[in-house]
Amino acid sequence: MLLQSCKKEAALVAIDQSYGYTVPQGNHTYDKTITDFYGKYGVYLLYKFSDKDTYWTPTGWKNATPSTTIAGSWNPGYLAVQADTTSSDYINRQLIVLNKLWFGFYSDKFLKQFLPVKIMLCNTVDSVVSKATFTPNLTYTRVDTYVGAWYNFDNLCVSYGNSSAATMVQKDSITFAKKVNLIFMQSIITRNLSAPTADFTAATNYGVTYTSTATAYTAGIIAPYSSVTSQLDWAQYMQAMVTCTETTLNKSQVNTINSFTGILNVTKDTNGKIRQRYNIVRNYFINAYGVDLQAIGNYSGR
């Protein structure tokens, strides 16, 4: 496997560039794998990281924090807990999981082009919000929801850096594959690394105002029709492919429901425009990068 390290390991070489991160971060069995990954893709797999590494963006911090004005309340955000390093087996297995359910779906060319600078190897990744209780008095409690993966600015946080990587069942694998590949697609779009092709944009008219989901579908638009752009539409097609099976995309669903289900069925795709544009996006990534995004959805969308 791509991330499988050999028993007989060469000496680790520290790699430190202008970002201020260094690999290896230790001398575990998995550190050579992490160093080799950097050498191949220029991407840091970090199991030691600071809050600034993880949560900072030019527009503000994205981590959940206690409110300074309302007792018990939390400002919503994310919390990424560093991977459990009490056993070398945990991160070893986490790397195998990432290879099977994320990296293994893509070509080297795709990964070199689109992976973020940093991938945080986490124990857990949670979304945090406050829940209000109104009786007998107004009080707030913190609610953590496991999300598995999260993208922020120049990094992507992934879970399973713990003992659970060894006990994953098929349902766990499918759920994680769906989430991490969706987040990966969103990170690509957010960083403006993939733009719609000329034939994709030309296949519909973005110069008119669409007033309903149904009329947008007739034009081949699957993004929410309010203020839609070619870039937003391109992103939706990418996300549809990596999260849904072809069976789901071809399933009949009424054209008033804005979802990926049925976008290739004649009930929604009355003019065949969605299928035309779907094929443009799918074939673009196959021809340019040797990656069939739909193959990912056929696994993760089950």
Question: What local confidence, expressed as pLDDT, does residue 6 receive?
Answer: 39
The DSSP 8-state label assigned to residue 293 in this structure reads: H
Residue-level pLDDT at 19: 57
pLDDT at 10: 43
Spatial contact of 122 and 80, defined as CB atoms under 8 Å apart = yes
CA dist 301 and 76 (Å) reads: 28
Token reading at 1: 């496997």
**Tens-level pLDDT at each residue, the chain (302 residues):** 444 443 334 444 444 444 578 999 999 999 999 999 999 999 999 999 999 999 999 999 999 999 999 999 999 999 999 999 999 899 999 999 999 999 999 999 999 999 999 999 999 999 999 999 999 999 999 999 999 999 999 999 999 999 999 999 999 999 999 999 999 999 999 999 999 999 999 999 999 999 999 999 999 999 998 889 999 999 999 999 999 999 999 999 999 999 999 999 999 999 999 999 999 999 999 999 999 999 999 999 99
Side chain identity at 258, as an amino acid letter? N
State the Cα–Cα distance between residues 77 and 65, nearest whole angstrom. 7
Residue with tokens 């028993």: 7
User: DSSP H helical segments within 107-211, as ranges?
Assistant: 108-114, 170-190, 198-202
The residue type of 282 is R
Show Cβ contacts of residue 266 under 8 Å, excluding neighbours closer than 6 positions: none
- CB burial of 121-154 (b: ≥16 within 10 Å; e: otherwise) equals bbbbbbebbbeeeeeeeeebeeeeeebbbbbbbe
**CA gap 14, 24 in Å, rounded:** 6
What distance in Å separates the CA atoms of residue 163 and residue 79, rounded to the nearest whole number?
A: 19
CA-based nearest residue to 197, from 259, 288, 108 = 288
pLDDT digit string, tens, across residues 82-131: 999 999 899 999 999 999 999 999 999 999 999 999 999 999 999 999 99
Q: What is the DSSP string of 107-119?
A: -HHHHHHH--SEE
* pLDDT single digits (tens) 160-177: 999 999 999 999 999 999
- Say what the pTM is: 0.90
As a whole number of angstroms, the distance between CA 245 and CA 178 comes to: 11
Written as six digits, the tokens of 19 are 């970002």
